[in-house]
């Protein structure tokens, strides 16, 4: 099935993102970062590339941008290291790949894509994922590559304590998780979704969040939609939010917008979780709900291009 409604949707995290606390220069940098990822992925789709390829392309660009908590911008864990989670899913086949708690990985989404395409597994973690990566041209970087003064300062404030800091949050709340993600519909009518994160500042015990869990932070099914989540990871895992949105379409017969808003604005709020998601369905409909102050988000199709940050933007 050929479609002219192809498009790409991306996010760069959600949380307490207030215009009053954003400098014009930083706001412009975020907007440019989102736009760069959006255009790079849309070009893949425009040339007839797959939704999977477009999702990976968008996330690689975001992972390479230190503004976002994924890849190069990943936060410091309790040991002062960087451990990444990522997942990607093909809506046509329901095949998926994910990696968790992998250190010093330049582009976690690319290793997740290799798990999807070149293994019989869905989720690999830690040293096993690194061993798997050795069979491919997957790049690892030194600690210096991931060093960012802002991220280091975040860690220093809570280093040695039992606290953890989630990205895009007021320090006293410690509630929000920064991630990047993308969903796409290609010209062949296929959907895909992907999510990547550096997790939470000062995280311990090998903590793994929803970004690595298919059905929690990432899900794609050609029969319904493609979803990538961002927010309080533990709540997204408890609610299986990405799959929940798909189920509301499949079993309740809801539209994309109604389904994802129920999943985020109703169900997630009921259990005390904060965050949002991006989504696209097989008809090219797009929805990007969130129940917090802001979400770095953007989409592009043949009709329009939108890049937003704050709650009150129409």
State the catalytic residues: 179
Q: Which two tokens stand for residue 114?
A: 């290799």
Which segments of the chain are extended strands (E)?
A: 7-15, 83-90, 96-103, 123-125, 180-185, 191-197, 218-220, 225-231, 275-281, 286-287, 294-301, 305-310
Angle of the 24-46 helix axis to the 51-63 helix axis, nearest 10: 150
Alpha carbon separation from 86 to 197, 272, 294 (Å, rounded): 6, 24, 22
Instruction: Choose among 68, 75, 84: nearest CA to 138.
Output: 84
Q: How many residues does the chain have?
A: 314
- Residue 191 contacts residue 8 (beta carbons within 8 Å): no
Interhelix angle 51-63/108-118, nearest 10 degrees: 150
Judge whether 76 and 154 are in contact, CB under 8 Å: yes
């Amino acid at each position: 099935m050929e479609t002219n409604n192809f498009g790409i949707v991306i996010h760069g995290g959600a949380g307490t993102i207030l215009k009053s606390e954003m400098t014009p220069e930083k706001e412009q940098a975020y907007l440019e970062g989102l736009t760069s990822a959006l255009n790079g992925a849309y070009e893949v789709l425009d040339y007839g590339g797959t939704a999977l390829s477009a999702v990976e392309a968008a996330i690689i660009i975001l992972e390479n941008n230190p503004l976002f908590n994924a890849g190069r911008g990943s936060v410091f864990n309790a040991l002062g290291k960087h451990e990444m989670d990522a997942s990607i899913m093909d809506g046509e086949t329901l095949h998926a790949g994910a990696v968790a708690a992998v250190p010093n990985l330049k582009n976690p989404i690319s290793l997740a894509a290799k798990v999807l395409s070149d293994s019989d597994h869905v989720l690999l973690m830690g040293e096993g994922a690194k061993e798997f990566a050795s069979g491919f041209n997957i790049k690892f970087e030194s600690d210096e590559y991931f060093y960012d003064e802002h991220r280091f300062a975040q860690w220093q404030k809570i280093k040695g304590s039992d606290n953890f800091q989630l990205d895009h949050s007021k320090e006293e709340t410690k509630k929000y998780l920064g991630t990047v993600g993308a969903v796409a519909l290609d010209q062949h009518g296929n959907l895909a979704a992907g999510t990547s994160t550096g997790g939470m500042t000062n995280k311990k015990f090998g903590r793994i969040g929803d970004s690595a869990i298919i059905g929690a932070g990432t899900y794609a099914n050609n029969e319904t939609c493609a979803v990538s989540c961002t927010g309080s990871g533990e709540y997204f895992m408890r609610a299986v939010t990405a799959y929940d949105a798909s189920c509301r379409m499949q079993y309740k017969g809801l539209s994309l917008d109604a389904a994802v808003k129920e999943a985020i604005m109703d169900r997630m709020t009921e259990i005390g979780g904060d965050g949002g998601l991006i989504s696209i369905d097989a008809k090219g409909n797009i929805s990007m709900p969130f129940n917090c102050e802001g979400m770095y988000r953007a989409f592009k199709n043949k009709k329009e291009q939108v890049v937003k940050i704050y709650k009150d933007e129409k």
